[in-house]
């Protein structure tokens, strides 16, 4: 299973960016797809997650500004980031809990994508 993330970049405070993460490979079911981020000198933290069945989870710091749409037909999750703040600057990582024909709910990570918000 591979996760391919894209969409990072440089944006001014108050602007918007959309990240994409597409999963491919021998996938039976994607149980959870989500986004984490890691700022310099800080631990990796959960930003948002989309759970099979439709529920979503957001960190308090992004509630009301970020959404996590998911396209199950494309095994793709997005992170729509609005009203960006300099403190959102970080490397963003896609994560998925995937079940295959032979494994149950294994965690996979995509490559990080840099998001930089200038003040």
Is residue 14's pLDDT more than 90?
yes
Is residue 41's pLDDT more than 90?
yes
Mean per-residue pLDDT, 20-32: 96
Each residue of 43-95: pLDDT tens digit? 999 999 999 888 999 999 999 999 999 999 999 999 999 999 999 999 999 99
Q: What's the confidence (pLDDT) of residue 31?
A: 95
Distance CA 110, CA 94 (A): 5
Q: Which of 34, 5, 38, 33 is nearest to 19 (CA)?
A: 5
Mean per-residue pLDDT, 24-36: 96
Q: Which residues contact 99 (CB under 8 A, 6 or more apart)?
A: 27, 28, 29, 30, 31, 105, 106
Mean per-residue pLDDT, 83-108: 95
Is residue 38's pLDDT more than 90?
yes
For the chain, what is the mean pLDDT?
A: 96
Q: What's the confidence (pLDDT) of residue 103?
A: 87
Q: What's the confidence (pLDDT) of residue 50?
A: 97
């Amino acid at each position: 299973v591979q996760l391919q993330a894209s969409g990072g970049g440089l944006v001014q405070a108050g602007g918007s960016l959309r990240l994409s993460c597409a999963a491919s490979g021998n996938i039976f079911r994607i149980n959870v797809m989500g986004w984490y981020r890691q700022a310099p000198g800080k631990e990796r933290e959960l930003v948002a997650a989309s759970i099979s069945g439709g529920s979503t989870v957001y960190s308090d710091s992004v509630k009301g500004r970020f959404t996590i749409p998911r396209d199950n037909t494309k095994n793709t999750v997005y992170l729509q980031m609005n009203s960006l703040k300099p403190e959102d600057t970080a490397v963003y990582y896609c994560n998925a809990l995937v079940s295959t024909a032979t494994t149950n709910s294994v965690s996979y990570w995509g490559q990080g994508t840099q998001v930089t918000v200038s003040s």
